[in-house]
């Protein structure tokens, strides 16, 4: 709408976010400008602070407000295992699950520099197992194979997150790759 350039810019900024369409962006902009301007101010403050303060851990690549993230700086963590993830958001999800107590390595890409950094982390921590927590797919399988090849001289054991059929999903809605993996990696009942 003409005459509302700042509002239109805010709507455009919201709609540039992943999963936010034009209608949702319009509702969000209206809410923070008209319904709850205090929330809008708090949101703006926290966005600015996060942009200023959040960086990547120099050791593993996870999100951190310090040089080392909370995981890498915690001596109580299990240093025998490193979980390799594809994105720093994956670390947040795994930490929220409270089911893993080892270290992480965020593999942004498979550059030689990243492999050297991973190798250094493995040697420094005397790690014995690499655990891959990747989204399933052919690309992920190729990356896992590539990393195994690059690190095979370190005599590590390799594992990957279990894959198959999600709970509550009917078989007719499962893709063939997931179904194939679920069948081939089925577990025995006691």
Pairing of strands 157-160, 63-64: unpaired
Looking at residue 86, what is its pLDDT?
92
**Cα gap 160→140, rounded to integer Å:** 11
pLDDT in tens, the chain (190 residues): 688 999 999 999 999 999 999 999 999 999 999 999 999 999 999 999 999 999 999 999 999 999 999 999 999 999 999 999 999 999 999 999 888 999 999 998 888 999 999 999 999 999 999 999 988 777 888 999 999 999 999 999 999 888 777 777 777 887 887 777 777 777 666 6
Q: What are the structural domains of the chain?
A: 5-53 (1.10.8.420), 68-160 (3.40.1360.10)
Confidence (pLDDT) at 8: 95
Torsion angle, alpha carbons of 58, 60, 61, 66, to 10: -50
Q: What pLDDT score does 152 carry? A: 93
Q: Is the pTM of this model over 0.85?
A: no
State residue 190's pLDDT score.
63
In terms of Cβ atoms closer than 10 Å to its own Cβ (0-12, 13-18, 19+), residue 81 is: buried
pLDDT at residue 42, as a whole number: 97
> Would you say 79 and 102 are in contact if contact means Cβ atoms under 8 Å apart?
yes
Chain CA centroid to CA 150, Å: 22
The pLDDT assigned to 167 comes to 76
Q: What is the pLDDT of residue 169?
A: 78
């Amino acid at each position: 709408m003409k005459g509302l350039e700042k509002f239109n810019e805010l709507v455009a900024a919201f709609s540039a976010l992943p999963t936010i369409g034009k209608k949702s962006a319009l509702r969000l902009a209206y809410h923070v400008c008209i319904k709850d301007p205090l929330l809008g101010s708090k949101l703006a403050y926290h966005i600015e602070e996060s942009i200023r303060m959040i960086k990547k851990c120099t050791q593993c690549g996870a999100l951190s407000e310090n040089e080392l993230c909370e995981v890498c700086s915690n001596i109580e963590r299990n240093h025998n295992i490193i979980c390799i993830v594809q994105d720093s958001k994956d670390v947040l999800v795994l930490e929220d699950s409270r089911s893993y107590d080892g270290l992480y390595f965020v593999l942004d890409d498979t550059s030689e520099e990243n492999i050297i950094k991973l190798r250094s982390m493995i040697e420094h921590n005397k790690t014995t197992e690499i655990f891959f927590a990747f989204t399933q797919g052919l690309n992920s399988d190729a990356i896992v194979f590539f990393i195994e090849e690059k690190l095979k001289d370190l005599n590590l054991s390799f594992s990957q997150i279990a894959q198959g059929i999600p709970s509550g999903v009917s078989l007719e809605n499962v893709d063939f790759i997931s179904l194939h993996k679920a069948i081939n990696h089925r577990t025995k009942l006691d």
